[in-house]
Structure 1
Amino acid sequence: MEMKHYVLVSNSMDAMALYQAMEDKKIKSTLAPTPREADHCCGVCILYYDENDKDMIKKISEELTINIDDFYSCENKDDPNRYKFC
């Protein structure tokens, strides 16, 4: 089962700053809408692909004094045929 991993922060500016720092450290990630199931107030979060990067992400956020509200993981329910048209 493939999982999706998210970093939830309180605002989009923190999300952008943390995302940029993660990118600089070569952590594969993407800015993404916050999943509805995460029930979080900020509409932007960071999707990261390797669960083993969690400790490094915590360290980066501490260095930048960015508060991480939560880490959220869920099963990937994306339809693999979503963009297939023929």
Structure 2
Amino acid sequence: MKRYIMVFKNTNDAVRGEEILKNKSINMTMMPTPTQITQSCGICALFNEEELEKINNIIEDKKISFKNIYEISSNGFSIYK
């Protein structure tokens, strides 16, 4: 199963994003952002592939503000969105 990390632009966006994802019953974990990815916000959301469709719907509705979504693989991180 693929895993993804949603990186936020700042802490305010991360807190708001966490609230939105929890309210939409998204199964995710907030965690420190790996320094290999970015040095912007220090908080990101980790989630599995099964949540991707619901998260994409939230993004399309412009209900969440984020910087990037990365797919996690054995080779590291690659930008998904």
Alignment partner of 1:42 is 2:31: no
Q: CA RMSD in A?
A: 2.2
Structure 1: any 5+ residue segments left out of the alignment? Answer: 77-86
The residue number in structure 1 matching 2:32 is 33
Give distance in 2, aligned partners of 1:28 and 1:67.
Answer: 18
Identity %: 25
**Equivalent position SS for 1:56:** helix
Structure-1 separation of matches of 2:14 and 2:36? 19
TM-score w.r.t. length of structure 1: 0.66
Q: Unpaired segments of 5 or more residues in structure 2?
A: 75-81
Which one-letter code corresponds to 1:17 in the other structure?
R
Q: 1:56 to 1:3 in 2, by over 3 A?
A: closer
Q: Report the AA paired with residue 46 of structure 1.
A: A
* Structural mapping, 1:16-27, within 5 Å: 16-27=15-26
Residue 37 of structure 1: how far off its partner (Å): 1.6
Q: Distance in 2 between matches of 1:74 and 1:3?
A: 7
Return the TM-score normalized by structure 2.
0.69
Count of residue pairs brought into register by the alignment: 73
1:18 partner amino acid? G
Report the equivalent of 2:52. 54
Paired with 1:51 and 1:3, the residues of 2 have a C-alpha distance of: 5
